[in-house]
A and B are shown apart, each in its own frame.
Chain A
Amino acid sequence: MLTIKKLHKSYPIGDRSLHVLKGIDLSVDEGEMVAIMGSSGSGKSTLLNIIGMLDEADEGEYILDGVTIKNLTEKKAAIYRNKFLGFIFQSFNLINYKTAQENVTLPLYYQGLKRKERQEKSLFHLEKVGLRDWADHHPSELSGGQKQRVAIARALAANPKLLLADEPTGALDTKTSYEIMAFLQQLNDEGKTLLIVTHEEDIANMCKRIVRLKDGVIMEDVKVDQVRAEQYV
Chain B
Amino acid sequence: MFDRDLWREILQSINKNRTRSLLSGFTVAFAILLFAILFGLAKGLENTFAEAFVDDANNSIFIQSGRTTKANKGLQAGRRIQFKNEDYDYLKEDFGDDVQYITSRIYRNVTASFRNEKDNYSVRAVHPDHQYLEKTLMKEGRYINQLDIDNETKVVVIGRLVEEDLFLKTTALGKYLNMNGIQFKVVGVFTDDGGDNEERLIYMPVSTAQRIYGNNDYVDQINLTYNPDMDFDEAISFGRLITDKMKERFDVADDDQRAIRVRNMAEGTKAVGQMTFALGIIILVIGFGTLIAGIVGISNIMIFIVKDRTKELGIRKALGASPRSIVSIILLESILITAIAGYVGLLMGVGVLRLAEPMLETYFIKDPGVSTTLIVSATITLIVAGGIAGYLPAKKASRIKPIVALRDD
Contact = CB atoms under 8 A, between A and B. Distances in A.
Do A and B bind? yes
Nearest to B317: A78
15 contacts: A49-B403, A54-B401, A54-B406, A55-B401, A78-B320, A79-B322, A81-B319, A83-B320, A93-B315, A106-B316, A107-B320, A110-B319, A110-B322, A111-B320, A115-B5
Interface in B303-328: 311-312, 314-325
A158 interface: yes
B13 interface: yes
Q: Of residues A52, A78, A89, A91, which shows the largest number of chain B Cβ atoms within 10 Å of its Cβ?
A: A78
Given A87-B318, A158-B320, A97 B12 contact: yes
A107 B318 CA distance: 9
A154 B319 CA distance: 9
A90 B408 contact: yes
B261 to A, nearest CB: 79
Contacts of A111: 320
A82 interface: yes
Contacts of B401: 54-55
Nearest to A73: B323
Nearest to B309: A95
A74 interface: yes
Contacts of B16: 97
Interface of B: 4-5, 9, 12-13, 16-17, 311-312, 314-325, 398, 401-403, 406, 408
Interface in A39-59: 49, 52, 54-55
Interface magnitude class on chain A: 20 to 34
A16 interface: no
Contacts of B4: 115
Nearest to B324: A75
B311 A93 contact: yes
A75 B398 CA distance: 11
A83 B314 CA distance: 17
A98 interface: yes
Interface string A60-87: 0000000000000011001101110001
Contacts of A81: 317-320
A82 B320 contact: yes
A106 B311 CA distance: 15
A93 B406 contact: yes
Nearest to B4: A115
Q: Of residues B9, B317, B319, B406, which shows the largest number of chain A Cβ atoms within 10 Å of its Cβ?
A: B319
Contact of B322 (A49, A54, A74): A74
Contacts of B314: 93
A87 B403 CA distance: 12
A54 B318 contact: yes
A173 B323 CA distance: 37
Interface string A92-109: 011101100000001101
A110 B401 CA distance: 18
Given A54-B318, A95-B312, A89 B323 contact: no
B319 A54 contact: no
Contact of B321 (A52, A55, A110, A115): A110
A92 to B, nearest CB: 10
Contacts of A79: 320, 322
A93 B317 CA distance: 12
Nearest to B407: A45
B154 to A, nearest CB: 88
Nearest to B15: A97
Nearest to B13: A97
Q: Of residues A49, A79, A109, which shows the largest number of chain B Cβ atoms within 10 Å of its Cβ?
A: A109
8 closest A-B pairs by beta carbon, nearest first, are: A82-B320, A97-B16, A110-B320, A54-B403, A107-B319, A78-B322, A74-B323, A54-B402
Contacts of B319: 81-82, 87, 106-107, 110, 154, 158
Contacts of B311: 93
A78 B313 CA distance: 13
Contacts of A87: 318-319
A53 B402 CA distance: 9
